[in-house]
Amino acid sequence: MTEQIQWVNAISTRLSLESAISEVTDRIKKQLSGSPDLGFLFISSAYASEYPRLLPLIQEKLPISVLIGSGGGGIIGIDEENQAQEIEGNPALSLTVAHLPGVNVQGFHISAEEIPDLDSGAKAWTNLTGVSPEQEPDFILLADPFFSKVNDLLEGLDFAYPQGKKVGGLASAMAMGMQTGLFYQNGTENTELLRGGMVGVALSGNIKVDTIVAQGCRPVGPQFQITKGERNVLAEVAMVGENGAEAGKPPLQALRELMNELSPDDQQLAQDSLFLGIARSEFKLELQEGDFLIRNLLGIDPKVGAIAVGDKLRPGQRIQFHLRDGNTSAEDLEVLLEKYQREEKNNSAVGALLFSCLGRGKELYGKPNFDSELFRRYVGEIPLGGFFCNGEIGPVGSETFLHGYTSSFAIFRPTAMT
């Protein structure tokens, strides 16, 4: 009989670090019958002064072959009653451990100094991870919030591993000024608390990572095509209709016309929750909500009617304004989960990780545990771990991006059952 993948999570809210570690490791050892091949650790920044003690204490209780982890402003996991918990503003520790027969697990740590130039060949990027593209790996990535080369690294990994999924998040803290950290364990000898760069794990073989990236927005108004723009400045747009694009106009004029068409509630919402969606597919005729990468509006030049956006732009791209609030975010996630359920991939899912923005959770929905409970309602009551991030990593279309206000899910399932 073929050995099965096992996936287990436990969360603790005990104030003592030793007690929290004992609780999660004891629960995991009761459920895990195979070897602990891989671990994901997320710990509240309330324990930040004790971070240097964390990995040695865990390894003493439960030696794990490869482990990566992060400090977080909020921690996600499964309690003793098998209920999803999103612990915000209080101490918590979440540990996910997997037994992975037939899976190749490769951990790595990358510093900013090691990032190649973007015009480097694929070999320069594969050297960072130690994994061949022929293995078709998927990646879980955790980065320091001040790691300035995150976008370059994601672009390089997409280039070197075009078929691989890349999911993760940036470390966070409960309050500004609190110290965070990254954790890396690769074998019994290599145990590190890191204050910079990125830690990651590449998974290949008998495992597949599915992704759901919920950006929490809904489109409003017509779609436009960029007719003039440079770098991140949107200079001219043309509305896209049945007969192609109309004559160009300043984007500020297009936005004012849109505002006049919105309902009073949406006009009010647009005052502080208006974003721009940038289409990631040049060839798709019918664009849907998930086809847009959501980016912030950074500023307006009223003299020329230009708008600065939080991403690079170029003529020819299609764009659409978007709004975000709690109801919209809930509807967006539910639509994506319903789609995933229809594809029936959830039937073989064994575990998941959730990387959610610090701006979601209770602040967005007015109640706790919303994203995690909704996820398990559609995908099943599988083990779920994660944390609230300072930025979320996940794909839109065929490219991987750093997001904000997003919930990015990594769902793990064995390929032998697909």
The mean per-residue pLDDT over the stretch 353-379 comes to: 95
Is 364 a residue whose pLDDT tops 60?
yes
Burial of 329 (0-12, 13-18, 19+ CB in 10 A): buried
- Whether residue 285 contacts residue 339, with contact meaning beta carbons closer than 8 Å, is answered with no
- Supply 253's token pair: 């004029």
Residue type, 326: G
Per residue in 243-301, pLDDT tens? 555 668 899 999 999 999 999 999 999 988 899 999 876 655 566 666 789 999 999 98
Predicted local confidence at residue 241, as pLDDT: 67
Do the strands 274-279 and 318-323 form a parallel or antiparallel pair, or are they unpaired? Answer: antiparallel
Predicted local confidence at residue 10, as pLDDT: 98
Predicted local confidence at residue 248, as pLDDT: 84
pTM: 0.91
DSSP states along 21-54: HHHHHHHHHHH--S---EEEEEEEGGGGGGHHHH
The mean per-residue pLDDT over the stretch 78-96 comes to: 96
C-alpha to C-alpha distance for 249 and 103, rounded to whole angstroms: 54
Least confident window among 44-48, 186-190, 332-336, 371-375: 186-190
